[in-house]
Amino acid sequence: MSAGTAPLAPGVVYPQGHMETRMETKIDPDWMRFGVGTTLLAGSLLLLTGKRKAGLVVAAAGTAMAMLEQKELVSQWWNALPGYLDQAQRLLDQAATAVDELTDKRNKIMSLLGKR
């Protein structure tokens, strides 16, 4: 070796099978997402061109495929749905009670003004 050169670093040793694993992940695209996106796009285009029935069927198929891909998320939403429905029912009950109270007050005011 000359004075200005340094020895090369030793080569990196990968565990056996490392390169095969790395190649598999690079080659495998996400076909389900590709299918869902394509189906939803086709359904949208059919809807935009005026073919409502076909567009709705294709869009529904794409939505079903998306739901199949996201089973855990759909399950979480399904389990949370009764809680949301209960909250909505409570809100509607409160609104109905407020409307009833306002109606009673209006009737009282109208009866007072009608007597004078």
DSSP class per residue in 34-100? HHHHHHHHHHHHHHHTT-HHHHHHHHHHHHHHHHHHTHHHHHHHHHHHHHHHHHHHHHHHHHHHHHH
Question: Which residue's entry shows tokens 């429905």?
Answer: 85
Q: Looking only at Cα atoms, what is the longest distance across the chain?
A: 117
Instruction: Write out pLDDT tens, residues 56-101.
Output: 999 999 999 888 888 898 899 889 999 999 999 999 999 999 999 9
pTM of the predicted structure, to 2 decimals: 0.45
Interatomic CA distance for residues 43 and 57, integer angstroms: 7
Lowest mean pLDDT among 10-19, 45-54, 76-85: 10-19
Domain segments of the chain as ranges: 26-69, 71-116
Question: Which residue's entry shows tokens 């939505």?
Answer: 63
Interatomic CA distance for residues 59 and 41, integer angstroms: 8
pLDDT tier for residue 17 given thresholds of 50, 70 and 90? low
pLDDT tier for residue 19 given thresholds of 50, 70 and 90? low
Per the model's pLDDT, the better-predicted residue between 61 and 15 turns out to be 61
Q: Are 47 and 56 in contact (CB under 8 A)?
A: yes
Question: Which residue's entry shows tokens 């998320």?
Answer: 73
